[in-house]
Amino acid sequence: MAKRQVLSGLNIFWRMILGYLVVIFLVVAISAYSILSLNKINRLANSILSIDQQVIDIEKKMTDSLLAQAQNEQKYFVTRDESYLNLYLSQQQAFAEHFSQLAPLLSSAEEIALKDRIRELFSSYSSRLPLIPSSPSSLLSPSSIDKQTSRPATTGSSSPNPVAAEDSKTTIDELTSSLEKLIGLRQLMINQKMEQLRQMGNQASLITQIFVVASLVLCLILAFFITRSISRPLRKIEKMTEYIGDLNFDHHLDLGVHSPRELAQLAQSFSQMADRLKEIDEMKNNFISHVSHELRTPLTSINEAGDLLLDGVGGEITSRQEHLLQIIKQCTERLIKMVNNLLDLSKMEAGMMNYEFVQASLREIILHSLQELDLLARKKSIRLEVQLEDNLPLLKMDVDRMQEVVDNLLSNAVKFTPEGGTVRIEARQVTSFLQVSVSDTGPGIPPEYQSRIFEKFQGIKSGRTSQTKGTGLGLSIASHIVKAHGGKIWVESTEGKGSTFYFSLPLTAALEKDFPGEKKEK
């Protein structure tokens, strides 16, 4: 448990170092095993080349020497040529030297037994050799394997003893057979070592492959967990930034105890920042709501006073005074509308807006909005086009709020469409929704505004004027109203070619349920 806590507290740097150390350890382990296996194979191969092959070569030389001795012996007794005797003695000496080289290289019990048997047979063969006549030219030093046999000069018979010759032939055959057995044993040992080499090579190859595969799997698992321990907190932080960018400050970041310390500290800072931004946003909303409440009463009084003065309650007024009073009335009504919008938006954001849902026709709402905007459209020579499907179904809606949505979209379209342009509104049923679209031929909306056009105070700057039109509340209010009816609202626009605003409302009773942040009254 303590070890897990220590690992959990590692920062990104030490997590990466730990991963590299594990990889290095695995590489070193595989390399060490490969080197040890190669050393074993090398030692075994060297023993075959330096010992076993040498033993076979010596044994073959001994066989050749033995056969040469037998041939020279027969030739000497037939020809009495001392050169054959000398050849015989030199081959005998060579056999003895080869035997002395071979003896230390033999290791198995069978080989040692054969070695002793060869010594015994060769001693017997040398001791039974017929006596050689003396000659002034053949004074050679006698030689034998165990220094026990000598060749004194005599004046014997000139022909060999048949019994001795037969015994010599038998002894030669036994010696040759023993040497062949010795060669066979050593060849068997070589074959066994070669098989051992093959098995060692296969085993080393298999174990190395298993080692490599296991190491790769372990490295992949380690890389996965290290990467995930870094990427998952980063994705959460990225998601948190999106929430903050959407002005949603209610989410808090919890990366868990296994996250790197740097990211945990960053998450804590993000949470603190979100809390602080939430406090600031609440203070701003409270301030706007309070100021709006405080402004609505005096503005209403000013508006009523202006109406009374225009009605002549304060006495007769001149045309100049009437013009000024009309300006005051228009500005006051505009301020009252702005204050009411601010109060409505505050209620919608707080989930305190009440809606009165009734069965109504969206066609009538659209036609009413067109009638009110017809005069403004004529002044700008804007053509209004309407395409409504026949037999549009009735919807359960708050008529006044939905009228506000349509009025807002149409007024924005007329406002941003240049003189001589076209504004088009359509309404049609799409599957289980009724979809309304409002298109214009205005300057369009820049791409950087389209993602946040429905946020409050996001006024649209026209491409043909530097003046920002509107307060940036209308679309935000429209978005809240549509969502409260269970629908959705969006925009499609190409800068320089105009915009199309869409909203869709469900035809089913799904809108009976409450949606987050809104209250409805039936």
| Domain residue ranges in the chain | 12-127+167-222, 294-347, 354-460+469-506
Whole-number pLDDT of residue 501: 95
Whole-number pLDDT of residue 335: 83
Domains 12-127+167-222 and 354-460+469-506 share a fold: no
How would DSSP label each residue in 58-88?
HHHHHHHHHHHHHHHHHHHHHH--HHHHHHH
Q: List the pLDDT tens digit at each of the 522 positions of the chain.
A: 444 444 556 777 777 787 788 888 888 888 888 888 888 888 888 888 888 888 888 888 888 988 888 888 888 888 888 888 888 889 888 888 988 988 888 888 888 998 888 888 888 877 765 544 433 333 223 344 343 333 433 334 445 556 556 777 888 888 888 888 888 888 888 888 888 888 888 888 888 888 888 888 888 888 887 787 777 778 877 877 877 776 677 766 666 656 777 777 777 777 778 778 778 777 777 777 777 767 777 878 888 888 888 887 777 888 888 888 888 888 888 888 878 877 777 778 777 788 899 999 999 999 999 998 998 899 999 999 999 998 889 999 999 999 999 999 999 999 999 999 999 999 999 888 999 999 999 898 888 888 788 887 776 554 444 444 566 788 989 999 999 999 999 999 988 889 999 999 998 744 444 433 344 443
Q: How far apart are CA 412 and CA 498, in angstroms?
A: 12
Q: Which three-class secondary structure string do you get for 36-62?
A: HHHHHHHHHHHHHHHHHHHHHHHHHHH
The residues, any chain, with a CB within 8 Å of residue 337's CB and separated by 6 or more, are none
Phi then psi dihedrals of residue 382, to 5 deg: -95, 130
DSSP type of residue 464: T
Q: Which three-class secondary structure string do you get for 176-188?
A: HHHHHHHHHHHHH
Q: Cα dihedral sign for 100, 106, 112, 118?
A: negative
Cβ-in-10-Å burial (0-12, 13-18, 19+) of 74 comes to middle
Cβ-in-10-Å burial (0-12, 13-18, 19+) of 33 comes to middle
- CATH number at 12-127+167-222: 1.20.120
Whole-prediction pTM: 0.51
Q: How far apart are CA 328 and CA 304, in angstroms?
A: 11
262 by DSSP, 3-state: which? helix
DSSP type of residue 486: T
Provide the angle, in degrees to the nearest 10, between the axes of the packed helices 399-416 and 474-484.
Answer: 140
Whole-number pLDDT of residue 132: 43
Whole-number pLDDT of residue 156: 40
Whole-number pLDDT of residue 431: 87
The residues, any chain, with a CB within 8 Å of residue 496's CB and separated by 6 or more, are 443, 444, 463
Whole-number pLDDT of residue 139: 28
Whole-number pLDDT of residue 128: 61
Helix ranges restricted to H, 103-161: 109-127
Q: How far apart are CA 517 and CA 344, in angstroms?
A: 13
Is residue 146 within 8 A of residue 99, CB to CB? The reply is no
Q: How many CA atoms lie within 13 A of 16 on its CB side?
A: 4
Burial 207-216 (b: 16+ CB within 10 A, else e): eeeeeeeebe
Lookup: tokens for 446: 């820049």
Q: Which residues pair with 426 in a beta bridge?
A: 387, 437
Cβ-in-10-Å burial (0-12, 13-18, 19+) of 453 comes to buried
Is residue 142 within 8 A of residue 151, CB to CB? The reply is yes
Whole-number pLDDT of residue 317: 82
Number of other residues whose CB lies within 10 A of the CB of residue 444: 20
Burial 414-435 (b: 16+ CB within 10 A, else e): bbbbeeebbbbbbbeeeeebbb
Whole-number pLDDT of residue 461: 54
Place of tokens 């406090």: 279
Whole-number pLDDT of residue 11: 72
Lookup: tokens for 60: 């073959």
Q: Architecture of domain 354-460+469-506 in CATH?
A: 2-Layer Sandwich (3.30)
321 by DSSP, 3-state: which? helix
Whole-number pLDDT of residue 154: 37
Whole-number pLDDT of residue 239: 79
